[in-house]
Structure 1
Amino acid sequence: MINKLKDQPNPFSGSRVDTPFQNHPDYPDTYHQQFITLESILKDIKLDSNHQSKGAVVIGEPGSGKTHLMMRLTQARLSSNRLLFIRQPNHASSILYHIYSRILESLVEQVGSFTQLDYLIINSFHKIVANLPKTTQKDEEIIKALKNDNKNALWGEESYNKLVYWQLIQKRINEWWVKSYSAGGFAPSILKGIVKYCSYTKSEFKDIAKRWLAGQALSNEEAEKVGLPNWGEDISLEAFSLEAISVLGKLSTLDEPLIIIFDQLEGLGLPHNKEILLNFGKNLKEIFTHVPNSLIILNMFPERWEQFKDTFDNSIIGRVSQYQVHLQRPNDQEIEAILKVKLQTLNIPLSQIFLSTDLEDILEQKSVRAVLNRAADYYNYKVSQIPLPSIKVEIRKLDGIEKIEQQLRVLVSQQQVLTDAFLSMIQEIQKPGSVDIIDLVEKLVPDVKSVEQQIEEYVIEYLTKQKVYLEGQYNSLPIISDSDDIGKLKTIAEALNHMKPIKLTLYRLGKRVLPEHIVVETDHQNYVIGFLHIAPNTSITSRISNFNELVCLHPKDRFGLFRDDRLSEIKGNVAKEKVNQLKNASNGDFVLFSKQDRIQLELTYKLIIDIQNKDLDVDLKSALKVFVTHQEWYHWLFTMFGFTKPTA
Structure 2
Amino acid sequence: QQHPDRREVFESEFNDLKIVVEEISQDPNHQSRGIVVIGEPGSGKTHLMMRLAQDILETNRLLYIRQPNNAQAVIFHTYSRILESLIESVQSSSHNQLEYLIAHSFAQILENLQSNSTVLTQRDKKILEVMQKNPLKLFSDLAKAETQTKRNYWEHIEKRALNWWDKNYSPAGYAPQIFKGILRFCRYSDPSRRRIVTQWLAMNDLPAEELEKVQLLPWSEEMSREEISLEAIKVLGCLSVLEKPLLLIFDQLEGLGQEHNESLLWSFGESIKEILTHVPNSLVILNLFPHRWQQFKQVFDGSVVHRISQSEIVLKKPPISALKKLLNLRAEMVGFTIEELFTNSEIDKIVRANSIRGVLSTASNFYREKVYNISLPKKYDVDSPSSTPNVASFTIPWQELNERLGRMEKLMFKIAEKLDIEVENLAEEVVVISEQSEVLAKDESEQSEALAKDEVVLNEPILISPRDSIKEYFDRQKVKLKAKFMEHQILTDLDDVGKLEMIIRFFQDSWDKLEIEVLSLGKRVTPEHLVIKIEQHQCVIAFLHEGGSKFCARMRNYNELMSYHPSLQFKLCRDETDYPITGRKSRQQLDNFKSLPRGDLIILNSEQRILFELIYQTIVDIQNLDLEASVDEIIKFISSEYSNFWLWKILPI
Deviation at 1:604? 0.6
**Judging changes above 3 Å, is the alpha-carbon distance between structure 1 residues 308 and 257 closer, same or farther for their aligned structure 2 residues?**
same
Which of 444, 450, 460 is matched with 1:445 structurally?
A: 460
SS of structure 1 residue aligned to 2:374 = coil
Paired residue secondary structure (2:541): strand
Q: 1:351 — aligned with what?
A: 339
Any conservation in 1 of the 2:205–2:550 contact (CA below 8 Å)?
no
Equivalence for 1:574? 585
Distance 2:332 2:153 in 1: 47
Answer yes or no: is the 8 Å Cα contact 1:627–1:634 preserved in 2.
no
Shift of 1:137: 1.7
Report whether the alignment pairs 1:506 with 2:518. yes
In the alignment, which residue of structure 2 is the partner of 1:282?
270
Distance 1:587 1:36, change over 3 A: same
Deviations 1:585-623 (A, max 9, x none): 212211211111101110110000001111112222321
- In structure 2, relative to structure 1, the CA distance for the partners of 1:26 and 1:55 (3 Å cut) is same
Alpha-carbon distance in structure 1 between the residues aligned to 2:228 and 2:9: 41
Q: Pick closer, same or farther for the CA change 1:186–1:417 going to 2, 3 Å.
A: same
CA RMSD of aligned residues (A): 2.5
Q: CA deviation at 1:175?
A: 1.6
Alpha carbons of 1:129 and 1:89: their partners in 2 closer, same or farther (altered >3 Å)?
Answer: same
AA aligned to 2:94 is: S
Partner amino acid for 1:573? R
Counterparts in 2 of 1:457 and 1:428: CA distance versus 1, 3 Å: closer
What CA deviation, in whole Å up to 9, does each residue of 1:339-379 have, x standing for no partner? Answer: 12223453322222222222111111110111111111111
> Tell me, what secondary structure is at the counterpart of 2:236?
helix
Quick check: 1:595 aligned with 2:571? Answer: no
Secondary structure at the counterpart of residue 110 of structure 1: coil
CA displacement at 1:498 relative to structure 2: 4.4
1:375 corresponds in structure 2 to: 363
Q: What are the within-5 Å matches in structure 2 for residues 248-287 of structure 1? A: 248-287=236-275
Aligned counterpart in structure 2 of residue 531 of structure 1, from 543, 548, 561: 543
1:564 aligns with 2:575: yes
Q: 2:60 aligns with which of 56, 63, 81?
A: 81
Q: Distance in 2 between matches of 1:637 and 1:349?
A: 50
| Range 619-628 or range 47-56, more displaced | 619-628
Using the alignment, how far apart are the partners of 1:192 and 1:296 within structure 2? Answer: 25
User: How far apart, CA to CA, are the structure 2 residues paired with 1:187 and 1:153?
Assistant: 29
> How far off its partner does 1:576 sit?
1.7
Residue identity over aligned pairs, in percent, reads 40
- Tell whether 2:124 aligns with 1:139: yes
Moved more, 371-380 or 335-344: 335-344
Q: Structure 1 residue 474 and structure 2 residue 485: aligned?
A: yes
Structure 2 SS opposite 1:307: helix
CA separation in 1, counterparts of 2:646 and 2:153? 52
Structure 2 partner of 1:10: none
Q: How does 1:83-482 map to 2 (within 5 A)?
A: 83-111=62-90, 112-132=93-113, 133-134=117-118, 135-149=120-134, 150=137, 151-154=139-142, 156-391=144-379, 409-410=381-382, 412=384, 444-446=459-461, 454-482=465-493
Change over 3 Å in CA distance of 1:490–1:415 after alignment to 2:
farther
Match of 1:635 in 2: 645
Q: Determine the C-alpha separation between the residues in 2 that align with 1:417 and 1:500.
A: 51
Conservation of the 8 A alpha-carbon contact between 1:154 and 1:166? no
**8 A Cα contact 1:520 1:640, kept in partner:** no
Q: Any unmatched runs of 5+ in structure 1?
A: 1-21, 392-405, 433-442, 644-648
Q: CA deviation at 1:627?
A: 0.9
TM-score by length of 1: 0.86
- Secondary structure at the aligned position of 1:57 is classed as strand
Quickly say closer, same or farther: Cα 1:278–1:427, change in 2 above 3 A.
Answer: closer
Partner AA of 1:119 in structure 2: Y
Contact 1:377 1:388 in 2 (8 A): yes
Looking at structure 1, the residues matched to 224 and 335 of structure 2 have their Cα atoms a distance apart, in angstroms, of: 57
Which amino acid counterpart does residue 148 of structure 1 have in structure 2? Answer: K
1:195-252 CA-to-partner distances (Å, cap 9, x unmatched) read 1000110111111111111222221011100001111122110000011111111111
Structure 2: gaps (5+ residues)? 393-437, 447-457
> C-alpha separation between the residues in 2 aligned to 1:425 and 1:70?
42
Instruction: Check 1:353–1:184 CA distance in 2 against 1; reply closer, same or farther (3 A cut).
Output: same
Counterpart position of 1:28 = 7
Partner of 1:522: 534
**Structure-1 separation of matches of 2:585 and 2:534:** 34
Q: Against the structure 1 CA distance between its residues 127 and 447, is the aligned structure 2 distance closer, same or farther, given a 3 Å change threshold?
A: closer
- SS of 2:141's partner is helix
Q: Is the 8 A contact 2:39 2:316 kept in 1?
A: yes
Distance 2:522 2:439 in 1: 76
Alignment-derived partner of residue 395 in structure 1? none
Please tell me whether the aligned partners of residues 498 and 620 of structure 1 are also in contact (alpha carbons under 8 angstroms): no
Aligned to 1:49, which of 28, 34, 44? 28
Deviation at 1:152, TM superposition (A): 3.0
Structure 1 contact 269–304 (Cα < 8 Å) conserved: yes
Q: TM-score, normalised by structure 2?
A: 0.85
What is the CA–CA distance in structure 2 between the aligned matches of 1:155 and 1:446, rounded to whole Å? 63
SS at match of 2:220: coil
Deviations 1:615-639 (A, max 9, x none): 11222232122111x2446513134
Distance in structure 1 (CA, Å) of the matches to 2:39 and 2:206: 43
Per the alignment, do residues 498 and 379 of structure 1 end up closer, same or farther by CA in structure 2, a change over 3 Å counting?
Answer: farther
- SS, match of residue 151 in structure 2: helix
Alignment match of 2:620 (pick from 605, 609, 631): 609
CA distance in 2 between counterparts of 1:618 and 1:91 reads 27
Counterparts in 2 of 1:302 and 1:542: CA distance versus 1, 3 Å: same
Whether the 8 Å CA contact 1:83–1:259 is kept in 2: the answer is yes
User: C-alpha displacement at 1:555, in angstroms?
Assistant: 3.3
- Do 2:373 and 2:461's aligned partners in 1 also have CA atoms closer than 8 Å? no
Question: Number of aligned pairs?
Answer: 586
- AA matched with 1:88: Q
Residue 82 of structure 2 aligns with an amino acid whose one-letter code is I
Q: CA deviation at 1:25?
A: 2.3
Deviation (angstroms), 1:256: 0.7
In structure 2, the CA distance between the partners of 1:425 and 1:463, relative to structure 1 (3 Å rule), is: closer
CA offset at residue 428 of structure 1?
A: 8.2
Displacement of 1:415 in angstroms is 9.9
> Partner residue of 1:440?
none
Structure 1: distance between partners of 2:632 and 2:266: 27
User: Amino acid of the residue matched to residue 110 of structure 2?
Assistant: V
For the residues of structure 1 that align with 2:264 and 2:149, how far apart are their CA atoms? Answer: 49
> Counterpart in 2 of 1:7?
none
- Which sits farther off after the overlay, 284-293 or 214-223? 214-223
Name the stretch that deviates more: 598-607 or 146-155: 146-155
- The 3-state SS of whatever aligns with 2:9 is coil
Query: Does the C-alpha gap of structure 1 residues 541 and 458 become closer, same or farther in structure 2, counting only changes over 3 Å?
Result: same
